[in-house]
Structure 1
Amino acid sequence: MSLLDRHRAVMPGWMPLYYGDDALEIVSGSGRRVTDATGRSYLDFFGGVLTTMVGYDIAEISDAVRAQLATGVAHTSTLYLIRRQVELAEKIARVSGIPDARVFFTNSGTEANESALLFATNARRSNQILAIKNGYHGRTFATMAVTGHRGWSSSSLSPLTVHWLASADRLHGRMAGLSDSDLIDAAVDDLREVLATVTAGDVAGLIAEPIQGVGGIVHGPDGLLGAYRKVLAEHGILLIADEVQTGWGRTGEHFWGYQAHGVTPDLITFAKGIGNGFALGGVVGRAEIMNAVPALSFSTFGGNPISAAAGNAVLDYVLSHDLQGNAQRVGSLLLAGLRDLQYDILGEVRGRGLMIGVEFVRPGTSEPDPAATLRVFELCRTGGLLVGKGGLYGNVLRIGPPLTLTEDEAREGLAVLVDAIATADAESRIA
């Protein structure tokens, strides 16, 4: 029996696998490249969903984890002092931009967002949350409730009362075609209308991704979250920045995605890249909000000695190697190359740094074309390049390579992308 057959025999049917009956097993990796079970090598432009942020087989990270393993202590729980956890919390508090910050560690971005919602609702004594359509925040009960993406909403049940704000999507919906200033004005009007009409009493907070990752790398203009914040402040409503995908310099121009908006959030959630594959997430926020939980609570595995050792090594590497600057330089190369393309199936190229989305449409329209997207996605694999896909309509290629990607590797991957898009475009004309 093949590994795929064994997977299907024991795993739930709702767990997606890329490439269907030709699903991929990655068995080794080095730098920005991975090798599958057949011995085929690929340049990785997705990094395990923007998680292998520094790359594969990085000595500094491996050495830090081995050193901790050598002590024989893989776990103690947070009922005991964990030196590496405290050290990592100190570093994250410093880079967060939040004064007098506190840090709580979890195992994932979902848990981080769940925790942030717990803190905000306790601090404000309200279960009302503002969320943005097309956003994704996780798969647990509360985080699924604030996920505005139908494909990932597995239940209509919710512990929260959620009020929805319009997405900043420029191709579809009410914000389509708007200029930056007009979009910000329309978004603020939408927020004021929601607060005036459908909320009841105090609202706990707004949770927002600076760039919607699963939603297809959709983002509003610079200053949008700042414009929201001015209205939120009138009502004492908290701002939660979901930086699970945008943090640690990935956007190039800034260390955190929120910094493009002239605002400091009350709470920041993080995960994915900070562990570079080790399970690590968390929340950093203002002390009075983080301390608002009225009962005892802790995380058995969050920030454990192994993941905290990895996290320290990752953050040190990001800062000492200026990976934010590299993301800006190499990301600009990719974005420029993709934006120069003139093909009928290309609807929009968007993103920042090494977080890029390529949206595909039916020629001559803004109608989503998931079939063309799937074709480009598969052609990329054929050409030796791994990318992701997403978007509300499944018509967006998601590009999020390790932040150590070199310019030569970027050009190599770009060449594969261009060939794949050109082939899919030509095939669409024949069809």
Structure 2
Amino acid sequence: MAEHSELLARHKAVLPAWIGLYYDEPIEIVSGDGRYVTDAEGNRYLDYFAGILTNMLGYQIPEVNEAIRAQLDSGVVHTSTLYLIRKQVELAEQIASLSPIPDAKVFFVNSGTEANEAAMLLTTQKRRSNQLLALRNSYHGRSFGAMAITGNRGWSASSLTPVTTRYVHGGYRLRSPFKDLPDQQFIAACVADLRDVIDTQTSGDVAAMFAEPIQGVGGFATPPDGFFKAMKEVLDEYGILLVSDEVQTGWGRTGEHFWGIEAHGVVPDAMTFAKGLGNGLAIGGVVAGGDLMDSIDAQSISTFGGNPLSTAAAKATLDYVLEKDLQAHAHKTGAMLMDGLRRIADEVPELIDVRGKGLMLAVELGEPQSLAADPGMAGRVMEETRRRGLLVGKGGLYGNVIRMAPPMTLSEDEVEAGLGILAESFSAAARPTT
């Protein structure tokens, strides 16, 4: 591990201690091809986390590389939004047409955090209120404002906040007081809680509720279909806007729908997006109806948001997703992966919950009877999978959830290969030899 240990020492010397690194001996990824990556010491891994769901197509995709190369060859990487950008307009047209929101407009930024910040600005300005609702166990970004709507203490670095946020029950059922209720009763209980929070903890004129259709950092907690439709019926009574955070659930990853919120039969007032759209290049944005998007009356720009290089890559990525029907592919391979994880859970009782949709799946680890979280086992799983040549992610409120979100081009053979490594790794981690 000489290459990695030397770089780790340099990392610690000049980068903040609060930048988290995976593994007891962190690795540097230096190349990739298809769904595989190679580290600086020559070890090859099947990638089941895709740079936190960002390398959506995988690595060395000719169509995306050619789009990037053509833009570089033009000599224009950046102009700013003070000038017309053809690829930005074309991409916005495509996203608006794919959105369920009528008469949609799109504003581009550089990340999911920035996208949620922009949505906070739009909704609080439109409603003239600094009150927001968010879900418990949520994550919406690392900025000062986005942390204010993040309902996960492990990711909230400050109690100071520019907005007043109240948290309602979401889709994390395993530890919910309503977890044993059937789906419709679970939804009804959460809706009743929403109404109670609005009536008792706000002044009534709340600007918006921010919600991830499937909670990402929260461990891919997945509510029953129809959950957000029932929530929005209450929101509409109060004029409260609904913002769907599609940073991790967008672009067909959940398999059943192109946008995660569509599983609930409801049209949000705005959606935020980022991650996979650029297949590794930094891009994010907000899509909203024109009335909401145009509610800002001060001047504004986005210096780097939607720049020619990122929008060229994003347009090529989105075209690839649509032309190859990766949504249907994610549905098929995701079902295979889910079936395999459930079989493993039958053999390893410490896998106390298997959840998610499409190629966005998670396993929560804990004591089978008490359901006590076991972050130690999650750490061991991370080490076991890395040692066997598989990269997975980790999350959840207690750090005890293994997250799997491979590139959406994952093959059926790679599903089986990953499941084989996961079965061995979960078994080894559940029964450590030391």
TM-score, normalising length: structure 1: 0.98
Counterpart code for 1:408: D
* Displacement after TM superposition at 1:101 (Å): 0.4
- Residue 223 (structure 2) aligned to one of 212, 217, 220: 220
For 1:78 and 1:291, the matched residues in 2 are separated by 16
1:29-428 counterparts in 2 under 5 A?
29-341=32-344, 342=346, 343-427=348-432
Say which SS state the counterpart of residue 108 (structure 2) adopts.
strand
1:206 aligned partner, one-letter code: M
In structure 1, give the amino acid aligned to 2:34. Answer: G
| Counterpart selection for 1:13 from 12, 17, 23 | 17
Q: CA deviation at 1:201?
A: 3.4
1:241 is paired with a residue whose SS is: strand
How many residue pairs are counted as aligned between the two chains? 428
In the TM superposition, what is the alpha-carbon distance from 1:385 to its structure 2 partner?
0.2
SS in 1 for 2:361: strand
Q: Distance in 2 between matches of 1:28 and 1:244?
A: 25
Q: Deviations over 1:278-323 (max 9, x none)?
A: 0000000011111111201111000000000001000000000000
User: Whole-Å Cα distance in 1 between the matches of residues 340 and 23 of structure 2?
Assistant: 26
Listed as ranges, the gaps of 5+ residues in structure 1 are none
**Cα distance between partner residues in 2 of 1:151 and 1:426:** 28
SS at the partner of 1:2? helix
Deviation at 1:363, TM superposition (A): 3.6
* Counterpart residue type for residue 346 of structure 1: L
2-structure distance, mates of 1:133, 1:109? 19
- Runs (5+) with no aligned partner, structure 2: none
What is the CA–CA distance in structure 1 between the aligned matches of 2:368 and 2:251, rounded to whole Å?
37
Q: TM-score, normalised by structure 2?
A: 0.97
Contact (CA 8 Å) 1:166, 1:174: kept in 2 or not? no
Q: Which range moves more in the overlay, 193-202 or 172-181?
A: 172-181
TM-aligned CA deviation for residue 364 of structure 1:
2.5
Maintained 8 Å contact 2:204/2:238? no
Any idea what SS the aligned residue of 1:319 has? helix
* C-alpha deviation, 1:173, in angstroms: 3.0
Q: C-alpha distance in 2, partners of 1:338/1:275?
A: 29
Which of structure 1's runs of 4+ aligned residues deviate more than 6 A? none
Paired letter, 1:19: Y
CA distance in 1, matches of 2:172, 2:270: 24
